[in-house]
């Protein structure tokens, strides 16, 4: 690498490595642009657009909608969206579990990765250029300066979505036992399962909005005529929490075998309360272990400095005086 850097520097000057990296980036962008811009319009999409234009004419007394522009990322969908169905479903499910339910959420997610990656490369290139102007920079350091921010920008959306997914799962897990107790009260009061779900969704909005949103989606899908078992299974997939998956299994089996839903809810709610207590006890038992390491790191070095420091100072002075 040093020999190659010397040859490039002797040929192109001190900015030779940076020029080579810039030309390589421009070459890669020129290769990618035809793939991004070349997208043939599907005839079926044309037919749907024409039908939509004919049927969306406002009638008398109807409020006109604000004009909305077409999604500008749609023509880049072949590049921004995974073409493999399994990969697309996995990303879509991850975004749903993180709380992003938009129609174009997958497209926006990959666009954010691409845009932040390019932005990071640009900022890294500017920083590398400034460092090269101040002095000679090794090729490896130059590559790290340019590629490091680009990789960080590319990983940032994935980290954000994963973090949001974990936070949302914790929030749903914490609020689920209370929702079961409330649902049990509603069912024992004479309300149907659908009515109890609507009531629980309304009552949980202030304390547990994530779980209330899931129950609200369930109630809306049931009102739309979707099969209840499919609705509940979709809820367990969106939540990504094992407790809700078990709850859905209990409801489905109770409906299939004709047993009392109130009895099933009572038993399962009791188990969820016990499980929440066990989680709290587990967190409390982990606390001393976590505090031990922090205590050792924060107290042992100052203590050793106080106890041994004067002796070391005296020994050094005696040796110096001798």
How high is the pLDDT of residue 13?
A: 62
Helices (H) and strands (E) in the chain, counts: 12, 0
Q: Which of 263, 242, 251 is nearest to 222 (CA)?
A: 251
Which ranges of the chain have pLDDT less than 50? Answer: 55-69
pLDDT, residue 51, reads 59
* Predicted pLDDT at 205: 86
Q: How long a stretch of residues is the chain?
A: 322
pLDDT score, position 62: 38
Q: Among 234, 217, 112, which residue's Cα sits nearest to residue 161? A: 112
CA distance 210 to 139: 49
HEC per residue, 149-198? HHHHHHHHHHHHHHHHHHHHHHHHHHHHHHHHHHHHHHHHCCCCHHHHHH
The alpha carbon dihedral of 161, 163, 166, 170 has a sign of negative
């Amino acid at each position: 690498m040093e020999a190659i850097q010397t040859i490039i520097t002797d040929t192109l000057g001190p900015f030779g490595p940076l020029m080579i990296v810039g030309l390589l980036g421009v070459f890669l962008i020129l290769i990618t642009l035809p793939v991004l811009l070349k997208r043939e319009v599907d005839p079926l999409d044309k037919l749907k657009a024409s039908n939509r234009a004919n049927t969306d004419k406002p009638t008398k007394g109807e409020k006109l909608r604000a004009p909305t522009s077409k999604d500008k990322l749609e023509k880049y969908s072949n590049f921004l969206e995974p073409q493999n169905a399994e990969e697309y479903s996995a990303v879509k499910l991850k975004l749903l579990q993180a709380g992003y339910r938009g129609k174009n959420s997958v497209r926006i997610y990959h666009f954010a990765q691409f845009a932040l990656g390019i932005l990071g490369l640009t900022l890294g290139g500017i920083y590398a250029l400034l460092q090269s102007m101040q002095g000679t920079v090794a090729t490896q350091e130059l590559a790290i300066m340019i590629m490091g921010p680009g990789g960080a920008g590319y990983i940032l959306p994935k980290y954000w979505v994963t973090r949001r997914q974990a936070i949302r799962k914790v929030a749903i897990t914490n609020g689920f036992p209370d929702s079961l107790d409330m649902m049990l009260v509603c069912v024992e009061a004479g309300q149907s399962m659908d009515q109890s779900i609507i009531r629980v969704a309304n009552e949980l909005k202030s304390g547990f909005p994530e779980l209330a949103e899931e129950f609200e989606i369930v109630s809306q899908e049931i009102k739309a005529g979707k099969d209840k078992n499919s609705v509940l299974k979709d809820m367990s997939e969106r939540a990504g929490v094992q407790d809700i998956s078990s709850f859905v299994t209990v409801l489905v089996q109770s409906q299939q075998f004709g047993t009392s839903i109130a009895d099933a809810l009572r038993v399962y709610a009791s188990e969820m309360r016990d499980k929440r207590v066990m989680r709290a006890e587990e967190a409390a038992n982990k606390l001393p272990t976590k505090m031990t390491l922090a205590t050792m790191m924060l107290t042992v070095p100052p203590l050793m400095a106080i106890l041994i420091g004067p002796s070391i100072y005296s020994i050094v002075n005696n040796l110096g005086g001798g």
